[in-house]
Chain A
Amino acid sequence: MNSLFQKPLTIITGHYGSGKTEIAVNLAIAAAKSYQVVLADLDIVNPYFRSREQLNKLKPYHVEVIGSALMNSTLELPALTYNVIAKKNQENTRTIIDLGGDGIGAKQMSKYSKSIHLAEYELFLVVNVNRPETKHCEGVLFHKESIEQQSNMKITGILNNTHLLKETTEEDVFRGMTICQQVSQKTKIPFLGSFALETLSRQMMKKKLQKPVWPIELHMREQWMS
């Protein structure tokens, strides 16, 4: 997973239900082993299940969480202090941005796009083909276009996170891989790998696949939700 935060800024985007917030949180925790980590919650699309809610869980990992909520309420000021972007210049710091689920959410990045160079960031598109909107290659391509147009940035990698929560099977992950590879061929954007819950990930990694299947832990779902 370390290959995903080589650059100072890692931006995670994807339709709601893609699991982008879980991935952002998982990446932040993984990166915190070697870096000072800032997790910026720029998701203004969803009013529920936002990474800032996991503040307490992230404390032991020394991950700094920045959100745009006013005084810890559900009120939203859709802007982040410029600090978030400025941190990218600090040595040994990794900033992970959890960006809103669609074109509208991605627009939040456009105001920063001019001050970020291609060499400094990764913008990953998280894909779950079990979501009706991104079931086929066309849906993912439409989604990619809208995010790039609104954010004024280029997507640099595709991550497969095809899942049905705890009901996910190998077949789901493979189906997601196939579609992500199709998208990759059409767009020339590299397909980097997949995510799966730990047991499934371990089982799949035994198969010597071309691309990794990284383990993911669910931090956003309460225990009673399963």
Chain B
Amino acid sequence: MNKVLMKGNEAVCEAAIRAGCRYFFGYPITPQNEIPEYMSKVMPENGGVFLQAESEVAAINMVYGAVGAGGRVMTSSSSPGMSLKQEGISYIAGAELPCVIVNMMRGGPGLGSIQPGQADYFQSTRGGGNGDYRHIVYAPASIQEMVDLTMEAFDIADLYRIPVLVLGDGMIGQMMEAVEFKSIKPIELPDKDWITDGTKEIRQPRIINSLYLDPDELYAHNLRLEKKHALIESREVRFETQGLENAEVVCVAYGTTSRVVKNAIEELEAEGIKVGIIRPITLWPFPDKAFDEISDTTKALLTVEMSMGQMIDDVKIASKGRWPVHFYGKSGGLVPTPTGVKESVKKIMGGK
């Protein structure tokens, strides 16, 4: 066993380095400051580049340039900083470039607070920038899972030429857990025959752009992106289910909140109340098919979020009106509690 104790923010960096990431551009913001701090130390030791940009806008555009030149690149931020990055993410998605972005969410809107939050669900899954685009969103619930997903994220980004967002929250970023860095199974990746690394006078120049002035050309580009999104939806959905069989209520929760829910489920089980959980690991593509596994005994769904209720929209879409969908959440930097989950479940059951 080769486990070390690491803070989430440090572990995500170590995972990126081990996955071959050699360029990091970022701008400090709590609660993810250990990411640029760690990268500033480790990137030079690994022959890579760490650059503290003058702003989040600059950082994401540096990512745009560096992935365009063929590098494995990461940036990170927290909620308000992610808002600033959205324009760049839209450009990167439009130009079909691969990169990995980490968001350790905090309370919002606006500057909000430095405590944890999950209120960037809409921003993350609905395209925070302009235009018809999507990007993959991983929502790890432990530091080990964040490490594993981040190591894979670079390959997945390359495979589909799409940004991958690793969506944690301040809690995942700040807490410590034992982690192990396992080597991942390499997947076959297409040649990067699109990078702008110099013609060397033997080929035509390549252009990376997201501008299509001819409507027909842009429409063709939109259709191509849509086809790619459909492919990702058919192949990259990830989720975990637990205790769906005979469950009276099924909770839906991701990331940190799913751990609170699991804790409540254990306590409810001791009281003889059977509750299951669907934990989306990819928020986009959303695991619609997980809802087909819900058993006939289930009377209602309960979405639990560290927000005022955002994923609940996707839960309603996925449930296709088969069950009433309830909500329990806390926001403002407060974390939902196992007691709160238990009370909500009991209220649903009492109300029939």
Contact = CB atoms under 8 A, between A and B. Distances in A.
Interface of A: 16-17, 46-49, 74, 128, 130-132, 135, 163-165, 167, 222-225
B171 A131 contact: no
Nearest to B257: A224
Interface in B157-189: 170-171, 174-178
A163 B4 CA distance: 9
Contact of B3 (A16, A74, A167): A167
A22 to B, nearest CB: 11
Given A223-B263, A224-B259, A164 B5 contact: yes
Interface string B332-348: 01010010000000000
A47 B31 contact: yes
Given A74-B115, A224-B262, A225-B259, A48 B174 contact: yes
A165 B262 CA distance: 19
Contacts of A224: 259-260, 262-263, 338
Given A17-B176, A165-B178, A48 B171 contact: yes
B3 A49 contact: no
Contact of B177 (A46, A132, A165, A222): A165
B30 interface: yes
Max count, chain A CB within 10 A of own CB: residue among B31, B175, B176, B260: B176
A47 B31 CA distance: 7
Nearest to A74: B114
Most buried by B among A17, A128, A167, A225: A225
A83 B263 CA distance: 41
A128 B4 CA distance: 10
Contacts of A128: 5
A164 B113 CA distance: 30
B301 interface: no
A16 B178 contact: no
Interface of B: 3-7, 10, 30-31, 113-115, 170-171, 174-178, 259-260, 262-263, 333, 335, 338
Given A132-B4, A164-B5, A49 B178 contact: no
13 contacts: A47-B114, A48-B115, A48-B170, A49-B175, A74-B113, A74-B115, A128-B5, A130-B3, A130-B178, A165-B5, A165-B177, A224-B259, A225-B259
A170 B210 CA distance: 57
Contacts of A225: 175, 259
A135 B4 CA distance: 9
A133 to B, nearest CB: 10
Contacts of A16: 7, 176
Contacts, number: 55
Closest 10 CB pairs of A and B: A48-B174, A224-B263, A164-B178, A130-B5, A224-B260, A224-B259, A167-B178, A17-B176, A74-B114, A17-B5
Contacts of B177: 165
Contacts of B259: 224-225
Given A17-B176, A47-B174, A74-B115, A223 B338 contact: yes
A204 B3 CA distance: 22
A222 B338 CA distance: 10
A201 to B, nearest CB: 18
Contacts of A132: 4, 6, 10
B5 A47 contact: no
Nearest to B261: A224
Nearest to A73: B113
Contacts of B262: 224
A74 B332 CA distance: 12
B348 to A, nearest CB: 21
A203 B318 CA distance: 51
Contacts of B115: 48, 74
A64 B114 CA distance: 26
A167 B6 CA distance: 13
Contacts of A223: 263, 338
Contact of A131 (B4, B30, B174, B175): B4
Given A17-B5, A74-B114, 5 more contacts: A47-B114, A130-B3, A130-B178, A131-B5, A224-B259
Nearest to A132: B4
A17 B6 contact: yes
Contacts of B260: 224
Contacts of A167: 3, 178
B180 to A, nearest CB: 10
Nearest to A49: B174
A167 B176 CA distance: 12
